[in-house]
Amino acid sequence: MTDRSAALPQTGTSPHARAIAAELDWLGRVIEARLTHFFAGEDTPFALPAAPVPVPGSALGRLAGDGALTPEARLVLALAIAPHVNSAILDPFFVRNAAIDRVFSQFGGPPGETGAFQPSAETALFLLAGADTAARIAAMALFETDHPLRRRAGVSLGTGNATAPAYGAALSIPVHRVVALCDGTPPRPDFSPIFPAQRLTTGLDWDDLVLPREIHHNLGHIVAWLENRERILGDWGLARHLGEGFKALFYGPPGTGKTLTAALLGKRTGLDVYRIDLSMVVSKYIGETEKNLGLVFDMAAEREWILFFDEADALFGTRTATTSAHDRYANQEVSYLLQRIEDCRSLVILATNLRSNIDDAFFRRFQMAISFTRPDAAERRRIWQGILKEVPLDADVDLDALAADHALVGGAISNVGRHAAITALRRSAASISAQDLRQAIASEMRKEGRTS
């Protein structure tokens, strides 16, 4: 047996790296044992080498230690990780069948684009069950979409040829998952067609949020739910009657603070906020909407994310009369999304510019609906002051007059501040003048089709 101990990180490395190295070393021993058993043609039962004890404090240890992953599931996870971390472990699968001068079909995955062996579900079934048909069928349960391997670890089957065997598809794990397991950081996937959500962040703080008192009160209600949910549901026994999640609708004109509020709710509670790009979610291909959103919801359940659906009326507006197969499927997509939202134990926020755009049947499902209105003069004055508080202003700048004379929303005031700053610097000025602001306001008004 090959001695791999020299390849294992020493005690000075992070627990996350040590855990992954130990897991891949175990995978190497399993591959060696299974191939030895296979080529020997032994009739004796195969004994899977024991999995290593999870390294305390490691990301992998937390995943394996809470009972979510069995040793068999851990082996599949290690197999999915191997091409990203140490593809040489898989080289033994390149042995050729001399009788037919090609690789053994039992081993699964063909070479990837780099020439390295790309493990498939077939590879995993071979390692776990060999030629034992009953054991292989039992192991197939590891690839169900609701298995912790998918929900907790992010392992799935890649898309392949529609006519190819189902378990011939390559094992897939997002790179952000691999990085998270290797260095212990929270998995934060990149925005892409297969992950149509983008993390919302803001440099502002809760005190910078200028909204009417009633809205602040309602937002405090949401914060209180997030901070006390376990007590409400568990200690107070309301879990039997209430869902674990919280659904809120934000509606109001553009620029009134809906997106900023969602980002600040995350900052206030320490939860990541992900904005769902519905234009990337809605697909003309049957099944793609569910597939694209499935990963987002799975990750939200695992990481306690806040999900923010902007321009939600694109999917949650008045439902279409089912006059065609396309209409029926569009309504099926909405039903799927509603069910996933209902089941989501996190905070889900849907935002729309008009309350009337949301179907009444959907509206009743929200625990809270908050109307974001255009700011009044006093609120506009606070927004102007917040945006320009560190900006050098000429003596002729009158923020009270700006707030009173121009009915702009917060987003528009931010645009005016940027425009005026650029204008001042283009004329080599050290400060912003009232004329710079008037020009910027006029430009913003023209964008909105207004003159005053």
Q: What would the pLDDT profile of 182-207 be if each residue is shown by its tens digit?
A: 988 877 887 777 778 899 999 999 99
Q: What is the mean pLDDT of the chain?
A: 84
Angle (CA) 254-222-305 rounded to 5° is 80
Task: Report pLDDT for 331.
Answer: 62
Residue 243 has pLDDT above 90, yes or no: no
Residue 113 has pLDDT above 70, yes or no: no
Q: Which tops the pLDDT comparison, 176 or 327? A: 176
Question: Which of 98-107, 164-173, 383-392 has maximum average pLDDT?
Answer: 383-392
Task: Report pLDDT for 254.
Answer: 92
Q: What mean pLDDT do residues 200-215 have?
A: 94
**Ranges 17-31, 319-333, 350-364, 428-442: which has the least confidence:** 319-333
Question: CA end-to-end span of the chain, whole Å?
Answer: 82
Tell how far CA 257 is from the center of its chain.
23
Any idea of the CA torsion for 210, 215, 221, 224, to the nearest 10 degrees? 0
CA gap 358, 314 in Å, rounded:
9
**Ranges 206-210, 242-246, 399-403: which has the least confidence:** 242-246
Residue 216 has pLDDT above 70, yes or no: yes
Residue 252 has pLDDT above 90, yes or no: yes
Answer left, alpha or beta for residue 52, where phi above 0 means left and psi between -120 and 50 means alpha: beta
Q: How far is CA 153 from CA 21, 130, 146, in A?
A: 17, 24, 11
Task: Report pLDDT for 326.
Answer: 47
Q: How far is CA 28 from CA 6, 87, 123, 131, in A?
A: 14, 11, 13, 20
- Kindly give, in sequence order, each residue whose CB lies less than 8 Å from that of residue 154, ignoring residues fewer than 6 positions away: 173, 174, 177, 187, 295, 298, 299
How would you classify the pairing of strands 246-251 and 347-352?
parallel
Rg of the chain over Cα atoms, rounded to whole angstroms, equals 28
Task: Report pLDDT for 105.
Answer: 75
Q: What mean pLDDT do residues 440-451 have?
A: 85
- Kindly give, in sequence order, each residue whose CB lies less than 8 Å from that of residue 355, ignoring residues fewer than 6 positions away: 249, 251, 363, 369, 371
Task: Report pLDDT for 296.
Answer: 85
Q: What mean pLDDT do residues 163-183 have?
A: 83
Task: Report pLDDT for 5.
Answer: 43
Domains defined along the chain, listed by start? 5-183 (no CATH), 197-371 (3.40.50.300), 377-447 (1.10.8.60)
pLDDT band at 285 (very low <50, low <70, confident <90, very high): low
Residue 127 has pLDDT above 50, yes or no: yes
Q: Which tops the pLDDT comparison, 67 or 222? A: 222
Residue 86 has pLDDT above 80, yes or no: yes
Q: What sign results for the dihedral spanned by CA atoms 51, 57, 58, 63? A: positive
CA gap 414, 268 in Å, rounded:
22
Task: Report pLDDT for 3.
Answer: 47
- Kindly give, in sequence order, each residue whose CB lies less than 8 Å from that of residue 33, ignoring residues fewer than 6 positions away: 46, 47, 48, 49
Task: Report pLDDT for 322.
Answer: 47
Strand partners, 197: 276
Q: What mean pLDDT do residues 404-413 have?
A: 95
pTM: 0.71
Any idea of the CA torsion for 319, 322, 325, 330, to the nearest 10 degrees? 10
DSSP code, position 187: -
Which amino acid makes up residue 134?
A: A
Surface-to-core class of residue 159, CB atoms within 10 Å of its CB (0-12 exposed, 13-18 middle, 19+ buried): exposed
Q: Which residue has the tokens 């079909």?
A: 105
Residue closest to 17 by CA, chosen among 68, 25, 116: 25
Q: Which residue has the tokens 């603070």?
A: 257
Tens-place pLDDT, residues 44-57: 888 899 999 989 89
CA gap 95, 196 in Å, rounded:
40
Q: What mean pLDDT do residues 86-109 have?
A: 79
Both tokens of 415, joined, read 């645009």
Q: Which tops the pLDDT comparison, 92 or 185? A: 92
Task: Report pLDDT for 283.
Answer: 59
CA gap 21, 78 in Å, rounded:
10
